[in-house]
């Protein structure tokens, strides 16, 4: 007959004791708290990413343009909202020609919303606050190319070319007020952005004196 054998603790090995319910609850609570803190730290940069950065806000900020050295018949280019903004100082003879070509234009009196609505004291034919200074966003309203400044009337563009802006991409033509000419693929005049004169030699592009129109956009640009 075999002898009865009693298993000893050494043969069983070091098995863990039965779980303590209270200890388990404490561990669960601590793990949950750490998880919530971790999610919070992760969410902070994610939530902050919903807010525009300072550089993004600066892109739409008003831009001062120094026109003190701009000579008649010449144009300078600035940047607002990452778009070219032209300031053309027109000569008296160029201004005198503008009303004479109204019948060759799609929108001679600037009725389409291609200009900021609260520009004060502006002329719809000259499209300017001060007659000699024209301010435009230099992007063709057809497919977004940048037109070229071609101020001289007549050839080489055409015998009846009045002077203005010519888009080399698809042949759209604009006069010296940025008004689109008949026969052009572009549907609308070049945009006139919100702007004002802070002094005789400085234009602020992208806002009005009251700070309005900072979020303005034309129908097409």
Give the residue with greater pLDDT, 206 vs 48. Answer: 206
Give the residue with greater pLDDT, 55 vs 99. Answer: 99
State yes or no: pLDDT of 57 exceeds 60: no
d(CA 48, CA 31) in angstroms, rounded, equals: 26
* Sign (positive or negative) of CA dihedral 209, 213, 218, 221: positive
* 3 state SS of 8: coil
Into which CATH architecture does domain 57-205 fall? 3-layer Sandwich (2.102)
- All structural domains of the chain with their residue ranges: 9-48, 57-205
Lowest-confidence segment of 106-120, 131-145, 184-198 by average pLDDT:
106-120
Predicted pLDDT at 61: 86
State yes or no: pLDDT of 52 exceeds 50: no
H or E element at residue 86: strand 83-89
The model's pTM: 0.73
**Per-residue model confidence as pLDDT tens digits over 95-108:** 999 999 999 999 99
């Amino acid at each position: 007959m075999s002898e009865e054998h009693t298993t000893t603790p050494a043969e069983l090995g070091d098995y863990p004791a039965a779980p303590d319910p209270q200890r388990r609850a404490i561990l669960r609570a601590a793990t949950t708290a750490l998880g919530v803190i971790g999610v919070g730290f992760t969410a902070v940069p994610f939530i902050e990413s919903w807010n525009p950065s300072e550089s993004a806000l600066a892109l739409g900020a008003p831009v001062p343009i120094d026109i003190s050295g701009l000579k008649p018949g010449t144009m300078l280019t600035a940047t607002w909202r990452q778009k070219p903004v032209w300031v053309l100082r027109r000569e008296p003879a160029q201004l005198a020609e503008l009303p004479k070509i109204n019948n060759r234009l799609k929108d001679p009196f600037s009725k389409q919303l291609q200009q900021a609505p609260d520009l004060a004291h502006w002329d719809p034919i000259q499209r300017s606050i001060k007659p000699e200074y024209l301010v435009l966003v230099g992007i063709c309203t057809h497919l977004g190319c940048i037109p070229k400044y071609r101020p001289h009337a007549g050839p080489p563009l055409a015998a009846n070319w009045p002077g203005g802006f010519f888009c080399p991409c698809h042949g759209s033509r604009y006069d010296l007020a940025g008004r689109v000419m008949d026969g052009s693929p572009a549907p609308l005049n070049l945009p006139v952005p919100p702007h004002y004169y802070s002094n005789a030699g400085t234009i602020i592009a992208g806002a009005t004196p009251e700070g309005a129109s900072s979020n303005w956009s034309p129908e097409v640009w």
